[in-house]
Amino acid sequence: MTYDAIIVGAGHNGLTAACFMARAGLKTVIVEKEDHVGGAAVSLSLTPGWTYSNCSYVCSLLRPEIIRALELPKHGLQVIPYEGGAVFDSKGDYFAYMSDHDALRRELIRHSPRDADGYERYARAVMRQCKFIKPLLLRTAPDPASLKPRDISELLYILKRFHGLGAREMAETVRFWTMSIAEYLDQYFETPMIKAYIAGSGIIGTGLGPYSPGTAYVLLHHYMGEVDGAIGAWGFARGGMGSITQAMARSFQAAGGEIRTGAGLDRFIIKGGKVRGVALANGDELMADTVVSGMDVRRTFIDHTEEKELPQDFVKGVKRYRFRGSSGKLNIALDGMPTFTAAPKDASFLRGDLHFLDDMEEIERAYDDWKDGKWSASPYVDFLIPTQIDPTMAPPGKHYATIFVQYAPYELADGQWDDANREAFAETVISKIARHSSDFRKLIVHKEVRTPKDIEDQVGLTEGNIFQGELTFDQLLFNRPVPGYAQYRSPIKGLYMCGSSTHPGGGVMGAPGANAAREVLSDLGHRIDMGFSA
């Protein structure tokens, strides 16, 4: 079979790229090794009656421009905002992040009037950074070592925006991008629990602790949604995260695209430095002069490309590229709504993200365990029960809990990720939650445990890194994934990358896919109208 373009991997970025290409009139096919689309944005039923968001679990950063351009709501996507969140400490108190601004202020004052004031300053500071960074997400990063007019003008665009911030904000920006989240929050808050609540989201998926320099910028996630337009930006995809990729798949098919599931890749077919198509594991060969890989950079180039086809420095760069998964996941079917010792009954904040922490030091110590090749003895847990809002994922009165766990190493220093260790890992998490919810354990009907190893095996994310590679500066912007190859093109003509290994990185954002599609279409001489201006 011959196509205009082949996309490898039906994750959200592969699907996004595919949609844009099909809509531009290319005869496009997606090949996917699993028997379902979705990659890490899936909703699977592992026990009758329940649907899990098996991997990614909240929808925060999916670019509104993409939702609109691909008409995802028309194809069934609904994002429902969730309400606040809370952290419970070991002394029986909690801090509730109320969704109502005035209630939040009162809750902050309950802990510290100073923090209530600090919160306003903090929120504005992060919001200013969001406004600065947001336009860069849907742009291709410039190569600072290049003298091409396009790279120079893009570099000037960024410098001009930076300069436009004014002197004070320029200094703030440098601090924001290089400071540790702990130090950043110390500027605004004094209550350990409040800092821990905010810091937690900064270390999700990373190989850094809250005391590590360079973690503060992840706070952007908190407000990016608000910059995108408030309600609906932070929420659950109705029906689980799979509904995002399902909507994308429908959008793709509506544009004439073809999806082949159960079609694992054997290798890219490369002749004379140009890609000619793909050979599938089942022996089929599909031909196309444009192939876009949604897989991470190591799978694409080390596992499925012959090394002789690639320049040495590129191979070195890919081999050096760091994954180091640090997260685990529990999905739990519950027989009823658990109660929390410290929480007032029916508190609205239970419909948000829940955590069990005293302070940032607890997270940092959890990180120290990971550095030593152990899962955290007292892990950071991001616990949500989406079924309080989403009626589709569990039978009435029953609930589904998604539990993200930080930190868990890809390789254990002692032993392997066998069933016994997997169970012990789950027990660490469950017993931590059970200390705050006495009925939680007995409500468990079914559970799915995913270690970084499982995430690699089941989803195809190398070393279980949920972002397809660490989000540290040496792997961001023009460094992602490899300096000199940060513009979605690879050393092989016609072979492109569109996964989260590329700028601007992970999270169910869709931006790498959209950016890659723009570069592909521009190389193919298409007039680029993606439905939004970047």
Partner 1 sequence: MAATANPVPLVHLGLEPGPFHERLIAHNRQQAWMNWMGYASPSVLDTVEFEYFAIRNQSTLFDISPMCKYAITGPDAEAVVNRLVTRDMRKLKPGRVAYCIWCDEDGQVVDDGTIFRYSDTEFRLCCQEPQLSWLEDIAWGFDVEISDVTREVAGLALQGPTSCALLKDLGLAGIETLKPFGIAEFKIAGSEVSISRTGFTGDLGYELWMDPADALNVWDALVAAGRLRGLRVIGYEALEMARIEAGFLLPKVDFLSAQTVLRANRASTPYELGLDWLVALDKPHFNGRRALLDLSKKTPRRKLVAIEIERDKPAHNALVYHRKTREVGMVTSALWSPTCKRNIAYAWLDAPYGQSVTDNLWVEIYLQKEIRWQRRMARCQLVDKPFFVHPRRAATPPADH
Partner 2 sequence: MSPRYDAIVIGAGHNGLVAAAMLARKGKKVLVLEARTHPGGMLGDPEFRVAPLPYALRPEIAKALQLDQSMLYAAKPLEVLSFGADGLPVRVSGGLATGVDIATAEAYAALHTRLGRQAKALGAMLLETPPGLGKAKLSETAALARMALRMRLLGKTEMRDLLRIVLSNAWDLLNDEIGDGPLAGLLAMDATLGGAMGPRSPGTVLTLLYRMASHSPHGHGLRVMPEGGPDALVKALSDCVKAAGGEIRTASPVERILVDGDRAAGVRLTSGVEIASPLVLSNASPRVTLLTLLGVEHLDGEFVRRCRTMASKGMVARLDFDLASVPELRGGGALQSGQRLVVAPTMRTIETAFNAAKYGSLPDRPALEAVYDGAARRLSVSAQFAPHDLKGGWTDEAKARLSASVLSVLADALPGVASTVTGSRVMSPADIETGYGAAGGHWHHGELRVDQLLMLRPFDGAAQYRMPVAGLYLCGAGAHPGGDISGAAGFNAARAALRDGVH
User: Does 150 interact with partner 2 (rule: CB under 8 A)?
Assistant: no
**Residue 505 corresponds to which tokens in the numbers above?**
């990185």
- The CA distance from 316 to 268, in Å, is 19
With beta carbons less than 8 A apart as the criterion, state whether 304 and 268 touch.
Answer: yes
User: Does 68 interact with partner 2 (rule: CB under 8 A)?
Assistant: no
- The CA distance from 484 to 265, in Å, is 26
The contact mask relative to partner 2 for 198-237 (x = CB under 8 A, - = no) is ----------x--xxxx-----------------------
User: Which of partner 1, partner 2, none binds 418 (CB below 5-8 Å, type-dependent)?
Assistant: none
Residue 120's nearest CA partner among 134, 132, 108 is: 108
Residue 295's nearest CA partner among 14, 2, 6, 1 is: 14
Total residues at interface with partner 1 (CB under 8 A):
42
- Choosing from 2, 25, 68, 93, the residue that interacts with partner 1 (CB under 8 A) is 93
Query: Which stretch, 47-55, 70-78, 119-127, 466-474, contacts partner 1 (CB under 8 A)?
Result: 119-127
Residue closer to partner 2 by CB (options 89, 390) is 89
The arrangement of strands across the sheet holding 495-497 comes to: 258-260, 28-31, 5-8, 290-293, 495-497
Smallest separation (angstroms) from partner 1 to the CB of 248: 33
**Residue 54 corresponds to which tokens in the numbers above?**
């098996």
User: Which of partner 1, partner 2, none binds 341 (CB below 5-8 Å, type-dependent)?
Assistant: partner 1
**Residue 34 corresponds to which tokens in the numbers above?**
């699993």
Q: Quick count: other Cβ atoms within 10 Å of Cβ 290?
A: 22
User: Does 358 interact with partner 2 (rule: CB under 8 A)?
Assistant: no
Query: Which stretch, 240-248, 436-444, 457-465, 479-487, contacts partner 2 (CB under 8 A)?
Result: 479-487
User: Does 378 interact with partner 2 (rule: CB under 8 A)?
Assistant: no
- The CA distance from 186 to 380, in Å, is 19
The separation between CA 173 and the C-alpha centre of its own chain, rounded to angstroms, equals 23
The separation between CA 321 and the C-alpha centre of its own chain, rounded to angstroms, equals 18
**Residue 59 corresponds to which tokens in the numbers above?**
């929808």
- Choosing from 473, 491, 493, 534, the residue that interacts with partner 2 (CB under 8 A) is 473
Total residues at interface with partner 2 (CB under 8 A):
37
Length of the chain: 534
- Counting DSSP H helices and E strands in the chain, the numbers are 17, 19
User: Does 361 interact with partner 1 (rule: CB under 8 A)?
Assistant: no
Q: Quick count: other Cβ atoms within 10 Å of Cβ 386?
A: 28
With beta carbons less than 8 A apart as the criterion, state whether 432 and 379 touch.
Answer: yes
Reduced to 3 states, what is the DSSP secondary structure of residue 265?
A: strand
The contact mask relative to partner 1 for 167-196 (x = CB under 8 A, - = no) is -xx---------------------------
User: Which of partner 2, partner 1, none binds 157 (CB below 5-8 Å, type-dependent)?
Assistant: none
Q: Output the DSSP codes for 447-498.
A: EEEE-HHHHHHHH--GGG-TTSS--SGGGSGGGSSSTT--SSB-SSBTEEE-
With beta carbons less than 8 A apart as the criterion, state whether 357 and 200 touch.
Answer: yes
Please list, residue by residue across 190-217, b when 16 or more beta carbons sit within 10 angstroms of its beta carbon and e when fewer do: ebbbbbbbbbbbbbbbbbbbbbbebbbb
User: Which of partner 2, partner 1, none binds 144 (CB below 5-8 Å, type-dependent)?
Assistant: partner 2
User: Does 117 interact with partner 2 (rule: CB under 8 A)?
Assistant: no
Residue closer to partner 1 by CB (options 120, 423) is 120
User: Does 313 interact with partner 2 (rule: CB under 8 A)?
Assistant: yes
Within positions 159 to 178, which residues make up the interface with partner 2, using CB under 8 A?
A: 163, 166-168, 170-172, 174-175, 178
User: Does 106 interact with partner 1 (rule: CB under 8 A)?
Assistant: yes
The contact mask relative to partner 1 for 323-342 (x = CB under 8 A, - = no) is ------------------xx
Query: Which stretch, 127-135, 243-251, 364-372, 397-405, contacts partner 2 (CB under 8 A)?
Result: 364-372
Smallest separation (angstroms) from partner 1 to the CB of 135: 14
**Residue 175 corresponds to which tokens in the numbers above?**
């601090």
Reduced to 3 states, what is the DSSP secondary structure of residue 240?
A: coil
**Residue 269 corresponds to which tokens in the numbers above?**
């077919």
User: Does 440 interact with partner 1 (rule: CB under 8 A)?
Assistant: no
Residues that bind partner 1 (CB under 8 A): 88-94, 96, 98, 100-103, 105-107, 110, 113-114, 116-118, 120-121, 124, 127-128, 131, 164-166, 168-169, 341-345, 347-348, 435-436
Can you give the binding site for partner 2, defined by CB under 8 A? 144-146, 163, 166-168, 170-172, 174-175, 178-179, 183, 186-187, 208, 211-214, 313, 320, 322, 361, 364-365, 368, 371, 472-474, 478-479, 483-484
